[in-house]
Amino acid sequence: MAAPLQGSVALVTGASRGLGAAVAVELAQRGAQVVATARTQGGLEETDDAIRAVGGQATLLPLDLQDDAAIDAIGPSVYQRFGRLDVLVHCAAVLGRLTPVAHVVPTDWAEVMAVNTTSALRLIRCCDPLLRNAEAGRAVFVTSNRARVPRAYWVLYGASKAAMQYLVLTWAEEVATTQLRVNLFDPGIMRTRLRADAFPGEDPAGLRPPKEVAPEVVDLCMPSEARHGDNVRFSRAG
């Protein structure tokens, strides 16, 4: 029996660690050819090793999401190499400085918005034609409860994720009559570096590892998935 994503091509951002790496491995297990992007070459190579260990294949693409020209080139590069793109999963994000709104430094604002919001826009722009052309194009953008529930000092992360959510859900409205399905996914609390940076005194041993969450992200990438324009929360999120 063929793997459900056999023959498909999936682009995953933030694939060097955390949820992005776990999603990349899960996609490979289900048969997808994975294009894994992240800033860290070493982390990407570790993800590649994990993908090979489950019998999958990956193409590694070191990429800084603040490099607009590099993001814009992803779509054409994937098309030139594979002739198609079936799945986009955008996991990459930065926390930014936790600070009062009145003390936000404009350069910090610009950096977090570039990675968490503008990169999503540029990914949509360059991947939209390929995903629309796919038989069952699927796009998933990882979000956070902080996008809708404000918390003191979290303005950079929360505002950038809220803007990203509006962007993605607007795109979902615009492609509603196509075969493309676009959703948000909120993984809840996980054992990630971003979580450790936000809560340095927290014991990570009690937190859910990303590999437990990844299957539900990849479920949204299945050709049989009908949900569209939803903000899907991990089923066991606390």
Quick check: is 2 in a domain?
Answer: no
Stretch 168-178: mean pLDDT? 98
pLDDT averaged over every residue in the chain: 94
pTM of the full predicted structure? 0.94
**Known catalytic residue: 153?**
no
In total, how many domains does the chain have? 1
Q: Residue 117: pLDDT band by 50, 70, 90 thresholds?
A: very high
What pLDDT does residue 2 have?
67
Quick check: is 59 in a domain?
Answer: yes
DSSP 121-160: HHHHHHHHHHHHHSTT-EEEEE--GGGTS--TTBHHHHHH
CATH number reported for the structural domain that contains residue 35 in this entry:
3.40.50.720
Quick check: is 238 in a domain?
Answer: no
Which residue in 79, 153, 157, 166 is the catalytic one?
Answer: 157
Quick check: is 168 in a domain?
Answer: yes
- pLDDT at 238 exceeding the cut of 60: no
Helix (H, G, I), strand (E, B) or coil at 18: helix
Q: Residue 201: pLDDT band by 50, 70, 90 thresholds?
A: confident
- Using one digit for the tens of pLDDT, what is the confidence trace for 71-80? 999 999 999 9
Quick check: is 63 in a domain?
Answer: yes
Residue 124 CB: number of other CB atoms within 10 A? 22
Domain with 178 in it: 9-233
What pLDDT does residue 67 have?
95
CB 4 within 8 A of CB 31: yes
Provide the percentage of residues in the chain whose pLDDT is more than 90.
86
What pLDDT does residue 1 have?
56
End-to-end CA distance of the chain: give it in Å, rounded: 36
Helix (H, G, I), strand (E, B) or coil at 185: strand
